[in-house]
Amino acid sequence: MSIALVETIKPQTAGATIFADQNLPLEERTDVTVDELEKMSLPMPAELYNGKVVFKMASHVHSVIQATVAGEIYIYLKQQPLGVVTTDENYRLWPERSNQSRIPDVAFVTKQRLPENRRHYLPIAPDLAVEILSPTDSFEATMEKVDEYLRQGTQIVWVVITSTREVLVCTDEGKHTVRDVLTASNLLPGFELPVKTIFAGVEAK
């Protein structure tokens, strides 16, 4: 997903998120906390990097792929209720860090790891995270995010590469490219997702 700093939002749009006890508008602040972010009414999903709000803006292609991947996992979970699948949900990858949060495009969390109270951002890393890499996205920045997930306990990260219509599978054991069928046997036994299905609703160049 394309990531853009909140400065790209016009002041009149972001202005509504200025807090009475803060002298700076949101786009200039570097002291926003996760607790504060949860209470904001923002125009789109936003992560928190070192106290800086960073919006995630999706293209049509990104949205189609995101819906397809999440939908395939959801269908599987209807038959095998092993956990929950989410899209654009904020996760506190570092519960002890009040100024950091990350949003995978799609995520899966097993039942065993779901906290009882789910009214707030989950203070865990998802078991499976999916990031959709558009041609305009930075590969290096995406891979930094992948490493963050893995360091915090995510078992598998799928990086969907739209330009080459393939998926980079990342685990602690290494990274490899998949062009045929995605599986996650340790997390989703029997689940299979043909890579061509991911891109079925997206025209090839």
Query: For residue 140, what is the domain's CATH number?
Result: 3.90.1570.10
pLDDT at 135: 86
| 146 shares its domain with 53 | no
| 71 shares its domain with 36 | no
| 35 shares its domain with 73 | no
Put the strands of the sheet holding 46-49 in their side by side order.
Answer: 2-5, 52-57, 46-49
Which range marks the domain in which residue 169 is found? 60-198
Per-residue buried b or exposed e for 105-128, using 16+ beta carbons within 10 Å of the residue's own CB:
bbbbbeeeeeeeeeeebbebbbbb
Distance (Å, whole) CA 155 – CA 165: 23
| 10 shares its domain with 76 | no
With respect to residue 204, please indicate whether it lies within any of the assigned structural domains. no
Name the band, by pLDDT with cuts 50, 70 and 90, for residue 132: very high
Distance (Å, whole) CA 111 – CA 103: 19
| 71 shares its domain with 35 | no
pLDDT at 77: 98
Q: What is the pLDDT of residues 90-123, one digit of tens each?
A: 999 999 999 999 999 999 999 999 988 878 899 9
pLDDT at 205: 60
| 50 shares its domain with 74 | no
With respect to residue 203, please indicate whether it lies within any of the assigned structural domains. no
Give this prediction's pTM.
0.86
Name the band, by pLDDT with cuts 50, 70 and 90, for residue 22: low
| 36 shares its domain with 115 | no
Mean pLDDT of the chain: 88
pLDDT at 28: 85
Name the band, by pLDDT with cuts 50, 70 and 90, for residue 8: very low
Distance (Å, whole) CA 68 – CA 108: 14
| 89 shares its domain with 7 | no
Domain count, the chain: 2
